[in-house]
Amino acid sequence: MDVKELNKIAKGMVAPGKGILAADESTSTIEKRLTSINVASTEENRRDYREMLFTADGSEKYISGVILYDETLRQKAKDGTQLVDILNKRGIIPGIKVDKGIQPLQGTDGEKITEGLDGLGKRMAEYHQLGARFAKWRAVLNIANGKPSRQAIVANAEALARYAGICQANNIVPIVEPEILMDGDHDLATSFAATERTLHAVFEQLALHNVVLEGMILKPGMVIQGESCKKAASIDEVADATVQVLKRCVPSAVPGIAFLSGGQSDELASAHLGAMNARHPNLPWALTFSYGRALQALPLKLWGGKAANVANAQKGYLHRAKLNGMAALGKYDA
Ligand code: 13P
């Protein structure tokens, strides 16, 4: 393991004013996205859509890295260039989603465990060869009566830590993503408590498995009320609660925290990140974005599967990327 190299990559991923594009939708998830704009999910259409994002001129000013799916890491652009090379040429770091999705966690009331550890070391070595310099593993927890359970938290935290260790042994920076879903009518305080319990367990397991904190990125959700909660918290309340829980749980050796958007609107995802950085300067870690939907919703719609719309879709993507880049600097102004 090359700790210096891992730390350099991690710092690059959260460089000032930059964040990560999550474009690692699995085949079934990208199918849902493409179906929503009446485009068939063929290999070629998936390629064209992602090529549109990766070739957006100037995206490298706001985007430090892109998380890819296995298919995309191996895919060529229309002109025969590897998509990875298009990113590298712009100085954007390619990353790879390595988990194999969620399955029921037996012994719980419908909670989930993320799978994919078997054979991961071998896959990771190949991914490094193909150009990936960081990886992502997403654990999914939900809030309901008594959930997330201690069982689900610990099982998922352990899997995250084992994944992170395998990444680092292969000189790949792990993005450690414990997502707590926004589904439900829980309030901000409930989200805070679930996030605090989860992050404590995650960092305990990371320590147990000897993960080097300087060579990882944390990707949490924000502390936010459930999407059907009647009492909406203000932007500042979400920002303050999120920063408070992170201060309690995340050691300062971690170079950066890159949030998921988790179903927040584009505007709110930017506004919350902007408020955190504006209201809490001088935090020990960089706070930035690793958004999927909040970066892609607009360009996906503008593209609509038509080559003639590529330039306009790229404009939409750059617009969101720029606003999130400003938010990472605490200078977001809708
Ligand atoms: P969203 O920003 O759409 O939540 O996606 C981020 C991600 O990578 C989820 O794993």
Residue-level pLDDT at 334: 73
How would you write 272-326 as a 3-class SS string?
HHHHHHHHCCCCCCEEEEEECHHHHHHHHHHHCCCHHHHHHHHHHHHHHHHHHHH
Catalytic residue among 122, 219, 301, 315: 219
138 lines ligand 1 (CB under 6 A): yes
Q: Which amino acid is at 247?
A: K
Residue-level pLDDT at 144: 97
Beta strands in the chain (DSSP E): 19-22, 63-68, 93-97, 102-104, 112-114, 134-141, 173-180, 217-218, 256-259, 286-291
Which residue has its alpha carbon closest to ligand 1 atom 5? Answer: 292
**16 within 8 A of 329, measured Cβ to Cβ:** yes
Residue-level pLDDT at 127: 98
260 lines ligand 1 (CB under 6 A): yes
Distance CA 124, CA 121 (A): 5
Axis crossing angle, helix 188-208 with helix 150-169, rounded to the nearest 10 = 50
Those residues with Cβ within 8 angstroms of residue 314's Cβ, 6 or more apart along the chain or in another chain: 52, 53, 55, 56, 57, 299
| 155 alpha-carbon distance from chain centroid | 20
- 219 carries an active-site annotation: yes
Q: Which of 96, 136, 290, 296 to mutate to test the pocket of ligand 1 (most atoms within 8 A of CB)?
A: 290
Residues of the chain scoring pLDDT < 50? none
